[in-house]
Amino acid sequence: MRRLSILYKLFFSIFLVSALSLLIFGVLVFFNQKDALMQRTCAQLKSVNILKKNSVEKRLNDDEKFIGNFINKILTKGSRNETLTEKEFKRHKDFLRDFCQLYGHIDIQLTDQKGLILDSLYDVTKENLYTFSREFKVDDKKYNLKLISSTEYLEKLLFENTGMGNTGESYLVGLDRRMITKSRFSSKTPPYSILANTVSVINAFQNRTGTDLISDYRNQKVLSAFAPIFHENIKWAIISEIDESEAMEPVYKLRDILIGVSLLIIIAAFLVAIYLGRIIVGPIREVSGKMLDLSIGIIPSKILPPFFQNEESKMKMAQNKLIESFEKISSFASEIGSGNLEASFTPLGEKDELSTSLLNMRDQLKDYRNKEKLLRRQKALSLLEGQENERRRIAMDLHDGLGQWLTGIKLKIAVIDIPEGQRQELKEMVSETINETRRITNNLMPNSLVDFGLDSAVSNIVSNVEKDSDLTINYSYNSSNSASSIAFEISLTLFRIIQESLNNILKHAKATKVILKIDQGSDIINLLIQDDGIGLPASPKSGSGLGNMEERAKLIGGTFRITNANPGTVISVTIPLKLSENAE
């Protein structure tokens, strides 16, 4: 889309707006009409379903009422010696046959309490039957009178498809999910061979009534109304349905009309977009060509006369100022992006929000950088302070704990009863252990640094190194008359750097002589450590502590530098005596 010309962008914009507007309008109209028609159809289906249900239930009630009246009539007729036996049943067969022919029943049977048929009107061999039975008792003997009916009469009630269209039907389904009445679409197929385990049937057997859009027993989308028929020993579901395609046919016709009208409107919008695009884009193309010439150093050959001042001419006159302004702003932004936050820039005007925003951004970046440096320094100082506090704690524990124990052991050795040679040997071992403990304690946190300052602490460590090794150290501490006092933080930093450097020289440098010089001025203090060893390797080991020394110096605003001296190595550290907040 970005590579398209303005003409095509304008054309596609008008075209897409028109098409989307028509699409949204058409979709809203279509679905609104579809919902309305579906609700109306569902209401009609529900009414039909209720009417069919009432008709079926009336038939069932009439059958039940007849059985009850017949039994009551026989039971109350004459004396109690006139019981309803096979003889009495045969005596009323003519009446019962007339009733069956009049109301479309198949048979009436008299059975005993075990279900054995005592007598009947006919020998029933038909299928699709349903039965009503009523138990009664005569002289302590139980009987059942069964009314056997065919579903044909119910099918006549349900096959009245007035208002159901070409695909509407109503049918009954039993608990086994098989149809009881015939299907409109499979009239020659026995209903019990058709399985109708649909959502509507399931809902009906859950004693629910309502409507839904489902797939029917033919796997066709239909609008379905459902209701239960629970009557004595009968549990049926009555379903009324119509195909969705037929019910929604008016909406689909409306959809086709909307599509046709939309296509005509889109074609008209297409033509209008082309016409407007040519009128609007022509001058813009001309100006873009001039700006392209300016971008490669070509001055436009044509200048509009003053009396022809309009938007197009103003655009041409503003292009030079626009290019110049953007060059300045871009250059300033590039300086900021490269990290030069000291770059200066003058806004192009009082309302130059872009330049003002860039200046504000530069100032905020400077502030953020300073805060980041301060935060990083404070974090590192906190870590170092934690290390020093831990060293101080360990040194105190060694002095107060282990030192006291060792002294006690030494005193105990003096009084225990052992050979004098062993006593002297043990005392010497304990003395050496005490001395080693003192040396470790002094390395962790020298008391001389706390009590007497940097010079004394460095002198002690130099003495210890010379005592324990073959290294000769030429140490000097020079202080001017105007020298300021040294903060403990600076003294501790220099002491740790000296301590780490001497350890590195002993471990790696193979040196014999070391020059250690401290010069304290009025505002800075310099440290120089030079040895005559083998110098720095091409790739210094990560465990040599150089990074820690450099980080310590930077944290208090100092500089750290290490170079090869050929032979040996030179370490120089410079630290301002006044701690700076801008230290890294």
Task: Report CA-CA distances (Å) from 248 to 93, 220, 257, 538, 565.
Answer: 54, 14, 15, 86, 97
pLDDT tops 50 at residue 450: yes
| Gap between the Cα atoms of 553 and 524, Å rounded | 13
3-state secondary structure of 576: strand
Q: Specify the pLDDT at position 182.
A: 85
Q: Which two tokens stand for residue 440?
A: 């470790």
Distance CA 129, CA 234 (A): 12
Q: Per-domain residue ranges for the chain? A: 1-76+151-292, 452-584
Distance separating alpha carbons of residues 234 and 237, to the nearest angstrom: 10
pTM for this model (two decimals): 0.44
pLDDT exceeds cutoff 90 at 514:
yes
Q: Rounded to whole angstroms, how far apart are CA atoms 385 and 505?
A: 26
pLDDT in tens, 52-86: 889 888 888 888 887 777 777 664 454 344 445 66
Per-residue pLDDT at 221: 92
* Per-residue pLDDT tens digits for 521-559: 888 999 999 999 888 877 666 555 788 888 888 888 889
- What pLDDT, on a 0 to 100 scale, did the predictor assign at position 325? 66
Pairwise CA distance, residues 534 & 384, whole Å:
31
pLDDT, tens digit, 9 for 90 and up, residues 241-293: 999 888 888 888 888 888 888 888 888 877 877 777 776 666 676 667 766 76
In a 10 Å sphere around its CB, with 0-12 CB exposed, 13-18 middle and 19+ buried, how is residue 86 labelled?
Answer: exposed
Percent helix, strand, coil in the chain, to 5, is 55, 20, 25
Cα–Cα distance for residue pair 321/302, rounded to 1 Å: 18
The model's confidence at residue 347, banded by pLDDT at 50, 70 and 90, is confident
Question: Taking Cα atoms as reference points, which of 176, 151, 191, 172 lies closest to residue 238?
Answer: 172
Give me the architecture of the 452-584 domain, per CATH: 2-Layer Sandwich (3.30)
Secondary structure letter of residue 308 according to DSSP: G
- Token readout for 423 is 């006593």
Residues 6 or more apart in contact with residue 135 via CB below 8 angstroms:
113, 142, 143, 144
Strand order in the sheet with 569-576: 472-479, 513-520, 524-531, 569-576, 559-564
